[in-house]
């Protein structure tokens, strides 16, 4: 897409300094952008080195002057750049309408300007909202609901009766509504507990590639508004994830745990079952959380494999180690002083 610097300024509510008719054909990093490309600089080193860029224009913080350059001043350069990327680079999608190879069940409702790609399978009584996009090989179970402007990438499965909100993005290979891992041990055997609940994903959520989100045993597994998950995340049955939380790659969350609003769960962390993590909790990478965490707390830490009983004893000692170190240091100083006085 080709546009002008003045048009981009309108997109981002910015102020142009330089040539508003400068043609912009793409975007690139500040250190390697070239002719016709726009970049951004928000703080620190990037602003100091802005004069060396070969970009046709740069988005900068409001109030930052850069003589003899084409710039757009905005309140949040990174956010503005994200808007520009979304306008300049449109993502491919199936044609509006239903592909001839799609299989549509009985009683389905498909909204205005929706796009149903090749080999998509819709069960019975599925509702697909206006302008929703289902890429190739997507499978939607009976009575599931897909909201308006939602985009589902290839090879995604959404199970029966699950509810997907508006403007949701589900990346390729995700499984939404697989059976929760529930079994009853009886007479030497693990007997399956039927999983008859659903998954509900609210508006403006993004689900990463190859996520697996289990349906609830009863009730619902619930991903609330604005939450974003990275690739390879597993969310077990009856978990609730609060609004606008971030869950990074390879995180596993065990069943019936509740996570609050604006939480951040870093990569490869493991969250135990039946816990509550409050609002604005941060969990560090590879951290194993085995008890509930109050709001606004930051928890982290990993340990090497060891006998479980040793590990349990270690957990009671670790929080006291800083104090113990000070006591040992004090004792060493007193002992050294006693040796000197002899």
pLDDT digits (tens, 9 = 90+) for 164-200: 999 999 999 999 999 999 999 999 999 999 999 999 9
Q: How confident is the model at residue 38 (pLDDT cuts 50, 70, 90)?
A: very high
Residue of 19, 15, 39, 18 whose CA lies nearest to 28 = 39
Take residue 337 and report the two structure tokens written for it. 């002083």
Q: How confident is the model at residue 326 (pLDDT cuts 50, 70, 90)?
A: very high
Kindly report, residue by residue over 274-293, the tens digit of the pLDDT: 999 999 999 999 999 989 99
Residue partners of 341: CB distance under 8 A and separation at least 6: none
pLDDT value of position 90 = 85
Percent of residues, the chain, with pLDDT higher than 90: 87
Q: How confident is the model at residue 341 (pLDDT cuts 50, 70, 90)?
A: confident
Architecture of domain 3-88: 3-Layer(aba) Sandwich (3.40)
Q: Which of 99, 135, 190, 237 is catalytic?
A: 237
- The CATH H-level (homologous superfamily) assignment of domain 97-299 is Hexapeptide repeat proteins (2.160.10.10)
Take residue 211 and report the two structure tokens written for it. 């996520």
Check whether 66 has a pLDDT greater than 70: yes
pLDDT value of position 196 = 98
Percent of residues, the chain, with pLDDT higher than 70: 99
- How much is the mean pLDDT over the chain? 95
Check whether 342 has a pLDDT greater than 80: no
**237 a catalytic residue:** yes
pLDDT value of position 306 = 72
Check whether 316 has a pLDDT greater than 90: no
Q: How confident is the model at residue 318 (pLDDT cuts 50, 70, 90)?
A: confident
Take residue 274 and report the two structure tokens written for it. 């039946």
Q: How confident is the model at residue 304 (pLDDT cuts 50, 70, 90)?
A: low
Q: How confident is the model at residue 236 (pLDDT cuts 50, 70, 90)?
A: very high
Take residue 69 and report the two structure tokens written for it. 């350059």
- Cα 317 to chain center, whole Å? 35
pLDDT value of position 302 = 77
Q: How confident is the model at residue 305 (pLDDT cuts 50, 70, 90)?
A: low
Out of 39-53, 155-169, 220-234, 269-283, pick the least confident. Answer: 39-53
Check whether 259 has a pLDDT greater than 80: yes
Kindly report, residue by residue over 269-278, the tens digit of the pLDDT: 999 999 999 9
Q: How confident is the model at residue 119 (pLDDT cuts 50, 70, 90)?
A: very high
Check whether 223 has a pLDDT greater than 70: yes
């Amino acid at each position: 897409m080709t546009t002008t610097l003045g048009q981009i300024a309108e997109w981002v509510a910015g102020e142009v300094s330089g040539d508003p008719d400068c043609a912009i054909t793409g975007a690139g990093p500040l250190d390697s952008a070239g002719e016709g490309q726009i970049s951004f600089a928000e703080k620190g080193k990037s602003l100091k080195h802005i004069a060396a860029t070969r970009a046709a224009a740069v988005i900068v913080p409001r109030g930052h002057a850069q003589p003899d350059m084409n710039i757009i001043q905005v309140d949040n350069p990174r956010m503005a750049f994200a808007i520009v990327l979304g306008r300049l680079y449109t993502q491919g999608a199936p044609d509006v309408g239903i592909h001839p190879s799609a299989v549509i069940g009985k009683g389905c409702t498909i909204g205005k300007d929706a796009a149903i790609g090749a080999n998509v399978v819709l069960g019975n009584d599925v509702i697909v909202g206006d302008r929703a996009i289902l890429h190739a090989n997507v499978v939607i179970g009976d009575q599931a609901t897909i909201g308006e402007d939602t985009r589902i990438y290839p090879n995604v499965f959404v199970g029966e009766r699950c509810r997907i909100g508006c403007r949701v993005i589900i990346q390729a290979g995700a499984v939404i509504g697989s059976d929760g891992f529930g079994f009853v041990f009886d007479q030497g055997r693990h007997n399956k507990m039927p999983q008859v609940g659903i998954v509900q994903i609210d508006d403006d959520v993004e689900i990463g590639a190859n996520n697996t989100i289990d349906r609830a045993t009863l009730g619902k597994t619930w991903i609330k508004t604005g939450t974003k998950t990275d690739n390879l995340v597993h969310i077990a049955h009856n978990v609730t994830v609060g609004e606008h939380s971030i869950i990074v790659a390879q995180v596993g969350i065990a069943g019936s745990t509740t996570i609050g609003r604006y939480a951040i769960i870093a990569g490869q962390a493991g969250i135990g079952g039946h816990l509550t993590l409050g609002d604005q909790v941060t969990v560090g990478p590879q951290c194993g959380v085995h008890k509930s965490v109050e709001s606004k707390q930051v928890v982290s830490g990993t340990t090497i494999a060891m006998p479980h009983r040793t590990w349990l004893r270690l957990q009671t000692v670790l929080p006291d180690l800083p104090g113990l170190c000070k006591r040992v240091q004090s004792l060493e100083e007193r002992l050294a002083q006693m040796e000197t006085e002899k």
